[in-house]
Structure 1
């Protein structure tokens, strides 16, 4: 039976809008995690490098405006809300406002294309905590499915890649290399979900769209204690290896990130670009998908499929569409159950 919704909710990570918000924001992010004070200061400096302002909030505002316009034009017409896990507008405050507005059931789009404990399960847990905090009258909130292989995401990402390839001199373009990047995870966490498999499928699909048979997947922005194993290769390692193999031009594609934010700007535009300068590599950084029209249309399509009796679920490749509802126990934490 088709579901009935009376609101759309955009859920994201959050980020500071000014310098004085950086440390409180990072304290929210790292609460209950094994992160040293030294690492916290190091990450804070990444934000201060850009004036203490994360571009993520403005990116989400632009995406929300585009989705509202898409829904108003093509339907379904739904009031739209936005809430973050770690900074204002905080999800719990948004859910409280929705309850005050009389919203009964909302469909939620989470700004994460791939399934993992950090990118999917923790958002579901955040929704549950926010509803519990609001209490009686809190709306039901249903998260839309993962979309890493949805044609709207793949086409939008392929368009961004083509745009980046166009910045490489034509005579060298064919020999250039695509290096996709995504947020690293602890190996123990990645082994309990399909994160890497989903990433590889998305990279393959985008590469096919732009006519590239060779590509690499690397990881960035690792955290946690130094003795903990994280996914590899790290993006710097991969760039070093490509330079050793004689590659002259690389297009770095942050496929694991939907919007511009500090981990993209600092880890790629500062650190990776600086390394490429040292290695003699010409690096072009591909834009994130952002509010690309194909991506915005995809969000509306995901909403429509949830409210429709039509069982069709769009997906490219061989893995098929992700389920509407995550199965119990998916994407568990690395911490063993007590």
Structure 2
């Protein structure tokens, strides 16, 4: 049987020139961000927002090297998975190159008997993993037989990857004055209220399993990266840093819980903006690095493929 794997994600601008097109595609997606305007106004409003927001975020991308490394890192993950499984592995993004709509044609031409789809969002949300799976169905449904992983937030290899990553940063720190802060990408609140989105619950499930290894340490969950004129999940990561300092903590170890590789939200938002906030608060701020090429993370993704494949291994 001829098989293939698709890793899919929202994507990110790899160069400065990709910033505005990326933002336009992102804000045009009404399923992700509904501005409360009639559908025919969504794209014009997205065009305006991308026009004004692109110059504002450009310095952030310049500060991390002129673009996000997310796409590059996803290709590296795909290469590791293909090497380990022997199965052709594609990469397709919703809002940046390589666009899923173009990669889907490559997959059709490859003509696999079965395609395994994995989003790089361990926790399911209609706005992230759901959007990826929505577009997979739209572009490949009826054209290529496929099976998809909806969520892998409790995968034991994934949990161990997080635990080992955090463990290194906790070395020498006392539970008495150290807190672990799990910073997740925020979502519009209406996702939870109206769509009954599972995202918050799945974040909590992941954190609960991770904290089994660090039961003596206090922890918090916060949300980052809100954009646009709508209400997002709270508390924000900045608010939580202030709260931790007020409670007397001296050290904070921050893990970007909803991410599996470095990109603008970790390299700039966490490493620059929130690191500055922590410094002003006299907090010893340690941000956990995301090793996207970790054998544990690779095994987490592959083990999910084996589950939907119906076999534990080749």
TM score, norm. by length of structure 2:
0.86
Whole-angstrom distance in 1 between the partners of 2:176 and 2:136: 45
Match of 2:169 among 164, 173, 195: 164
Shift of 1:218: 0.4
1:90 counterpart residue number: 99
212-221 or 40-49: which moved more? Answer: 40-49
Match of 2:211 among 204, 207, 218: 207
Q: How does 1:250-261 map to 2 (within 5 A)?
A: 250-261=252-263
1:55 counterpart residue number: 69
Moved segments of 4+, more than 4 Å:
32-35, 171-174
Q: Deviations over 1:199-233 (max 9, x none)?
A: 112112111123444200000001120xx322111
Q: How does 1:225-236 map to 2 (within 5 A)?
A: 225=229, 228-236=230-238
From the superposition, tell whether residues 140 and 171 of structure 1 become closer, same or farther in structure 2 (CA, over 3 Å). Answer: closer
From the superposition, tell whether residues 107 and 171 of structure 1 become closer, same or farther in structure 2 (CA, over 3 Å). Answer: closer
Q: Secondary structure at the match of 2:127?
A: helix
8 Å Cα contact 1:70/1:297 also seen in 2:
no
Match of 1:197 among 195, 201, 204: 201
2:39 counterpart residue number: none
Whole-angstrom distance in 2 between the partners of 1:212 and 1:11: 37
1:24 counterpart residue number: 21
Shift of 1:150: 1.2
Shift of 1:289: 5.1
8 Å Cα contact 1:157/1:289 also seen in 2:
no
Q: Secondary structure at the match of 2:80?
A: helix
2:90 counterpart residue number: 81
1:151 counterpart residue number: 156
8 Å Cα contact 2:179/2:217 also seen in 1:
no
Shift of 1:149: 1.0
Identify which of structures 1 and 2 has the higher relative contact order when contacts are C-alpha pairs closer than 8 Å and 6+ apart. Answer: 1
TM score, norm. by length of structure 1:
0.81
From the superposition, tell whether residues 212 and 205 of structure 1 become closer, same or farther in structure 2 (CA, over 3 Å). Answer: farther
Whole-angstrom distance in 1 between the partners of 2:198 and 2:138: 25
Q: Does 2:118 align with 1:109?
A: yes
Matched residue count: 293
Q: How does 1:130-145 map to 2 (within 5 A)?
A: 130-131=139-140, 138-145=143-150
8 Å Cα contact 1:9/1:82 also seen in 2:
yes
8 Å Cα contact 2:61/2:67 also seen in 1:
yes
8 Å Cα contact 2:186/2:224 also seen in 1:
yes
Q: Does 2:98 align with 1:67?
A: no
Whole-angstrom distance in 1 between the partners of 2:2 and 2:152: 20
298-307 or 264-273: which moved more? Answer: 298-307
From the superposition, tell whether residues 20 and 39 of structure 1 become closer, same or farther in structure 2 (CA, over 3 Å). Answer: closer
